[in-house]
Amino acid sequence: MEVINLTHLDDQISQKPHIMAIGFFDGVHLGHQELLNRAKELAKKQNVLFTAMTFSPHPDEVLKGNKNRKYLMTLPEKIKKMEAMGVDKLFVMEFDRTFASLLPADFIQRYILNSNTKHVVVGFDFTFGFKAQGNTQLLRKESKKSGFGLSVIPKKTYLQEKISSTLIRGLVQEGNVNVVPYYVGSNYEVSVNILPYKINGNIVVQPSDKSIFPRPGTYAVKVKQGTKTLHGKFHQYSNSRADNELKLNEPAHELGDVCSIEFISRINVSESLSV
Ligand SMILES: Cc1cc2nc3c(=O)[nH]c(=O)nc-3n(C[C@H](O)[C@H](O)[C@H](O)COP(=O)(O)O)c2cc1C
Ligand SMILES: Nc1ncnc2c1ncn2[C@@H]1O[C@H](COP(=O)(O)OP(=O)(O)OP(=O)(O)O)[C@@H](O)[C@H]1O
C-alpha cells in the first residue's frame, strides 16, 4: 500500500482512475469495514485502484482546540489496518483551518472530478466541507450531474445502536474490552514501547500518549510480536501514569522494543497482578 501525505495545497490527488472511501475511520470498526469492503469490491470489478482518504489530526483537534484527544488507533496503527483491508493507496490529508474552510463544491471539484475518482463510497452520515455543510444528499446530486458513481453505506448497528468510534472509545475507557469484538470484529489492540527495565519482575510498557487505554485495573491480554503470541495480564495504574506493568504467563526472553497488546477482558480485583 502506498501512503500519500497531502495538504490543502494538493488540489489533485490522482491521475489514475480509482474508487475512494472517505472518512476519519478511528478504530476501523465493522461499519467502516463494510464501507471499505464495498469500495474494494467495486474497484476489483471495475479494475481500478482502491483508495481511501483519511484526515490527520481529527477535525475536533483543529476546530475545537481539543489537543488532548485520544484515539482507538494512532495514525501508524490505522495505516497498518488499511493495508490489511487491501487499500492500494491511502491519502492522509492534513486537516488544518485552511482545509476546513474548503467549500463542499470545491472538495468535489478537486478530489473527485479533477482526480479521476470514478466512484466514492461513504457512510449514511458522512459530512464534509466548510462547517460540515456537505452531506450525502449533496454528493448524490453532484454524482448525477457530473457522472461519478456514489455508494452510501446504510447504518450498521449492534443492539439497535449505531456502531461508532465514539461508542467504542467509551466501551474501552470503561474497561468493557470484552464486548469490543462485537463492534470491531477483533479485540481492542494497542502498540506499546517496552521499557528497558522491570518492576517487581514485570515488563514495563509505555503507550503513545494519543492511545486510549482502559480504566485502571488488571486485564487479561494477548501480547503479539511479529508471529509470536503470548498470554498475560496487564496492569493499568492510573489514567495519568505513563507506564504500565505487563506480566506474561510464559517466559519471553527475546521480547524487543515494541509489541502490541490485545485486551481480552477485565479481571476481578482478587485475581489481579500482585503489584
Ligand atoms: C474539505 C473539508 C472541510 C471540512 N470542514 C469542516 C468544518 O468546517 N467544520 C467541521 O466541523 N467539520 C469539517 N470537516 C470535517 C467533516 O465534517 C468530517 O468530520 C470529515 O469529513 C470526516 O468524516 P467522518 O467524520 O464521517 O469520518 C471538513 C471536512 C472536509 C473534507
Ligand atoms: N455504523 C456505521 N454504518 C455505516 N457507515 C458508517 C458507520 N459508522 C461510520 N460510518 C461511515 O464511515 C465513514 C467514517 O466515519 P467516522 O470516522 O466519522 O466514524 P464514526 O464511527 O461515525 O466516528 P465518530 O463516532 O468519531 O463520529 C463515514 O463515511 C461514515 O458515514
CATH 2.40.30.30 occupies which residues in the chain? 180-271
Q: What are phi and psi of 59, to 5 degrees?
A: -50, -35
Q: Which three cell numbers stand for residue 238?
A: 492510573
Encoded amino acid at 58, one letter: H
Topology given in CATH for the domain delimited by 2-158 = Rossmann fold (3.40.50)
131 C-beta closer than 6 A to ligand 1: yes
Q: What is the pLDDT of residue 262?
A: 97
132 C-beta closer than 6 A to ligand 1: yes
CATH number of 180-271: 2.40.30.30
Taking residues 89-116, what's their average pLDDT? Answer: 98
Evaluate if residue 257 carries a pLDDT over 60: yes
Q: Are 52 and 90 in contact (CB under 8 A)?
A: yes
What atom of ligand 1 comes closest to residue 126's alpha carbon? 26
Q: Distance, CA 224 to ligand 2 centroid (Å)?
A: 28
Mean pLDDT, the chain, rounded, equals: 94
- The DSSP line for 130-163 is GGG-B-HHHHHHHHHHH--EEEEEPPPEETTEE-
- First CA to last CA across the chain, in angstroms? 43
ipTM above 0.90, yes or no: yes
pLDDT grade for 275, boundaries at 50, 70 and 90: very low
CATH 3.40.50.620 occupies which residues in the chain? 2-158
pLDDT tens digits along 148-174? 999 999 999 999 999 999 999 999 999
Q: What is the pLDDT of residue 243?
A: 78
**CA–CA dist 179, 177 (Å, integer):** 6
